[in-house]
A = this chain, B = another copy of it.
Amino acid sequence: MISPAIEQLMKEHEETMMIPAENVANVIKEHPLEHALLLLSQAGYSTIPVLDKEDHFVGLLSLNDIVKRMLGIDGIDTSNLEKLTVADVMKTDVSVMRLDAELEDILHLLVDAAFLPVLDQEGVFCGIVTRREILKAVNYTFHTFERKNHETKLIFHANSPR
Is A25 interfacial (CB-CB < 8 Å)? no
Q: Tell me if B139 and A38 are in contact (CB < 8 A).
A: no
Is A24 interfacial (CB-CB < 8 Å)? no
- Choose among B67, B136, B142 the residue that contacts A2 (Cβ–Cβ < 8 A): B142
The answer for the CA separation of A155 and B2 in the assembled complex, in Å, is: 21
Is A68 interfacial (CB-CB < 8 Å)? yes
Would you give the shortest CB distance from A66 to chain B, in whole angstroms? 9
Is A13 interfacial (CB-CB < 8 Å)? no
Interface string of A76-118 (1 = CB under 8 A from B): 1110000000000000000000000000100110111010000
Chain B hits for A64, CB < 8 A:
40-41, 44-46, 63
Q: Tell me if B1 and A146 are in contact (CB < 8 A).
A: yes
Would you give the shortest CB distance from A137 to chain B, in whole angstroms? 10
- Choose among B47, B68, B135 the residue that contacts A41 (Cβ–Cβ < 8 A): B68
Q: Tell me if B62 and A41 are in contact (CB < 8 A).
A: no
The answer for the CA separation of A142 and B3 in the assembled complex, in Å, is: 6
Chain B hits for A131, CB < 8 A:
114, 131-132, 135
Given contacts A111-B135, A131-B135, A135-B111, whether A76 and B75 have CB atoms under 8 Å apart is no
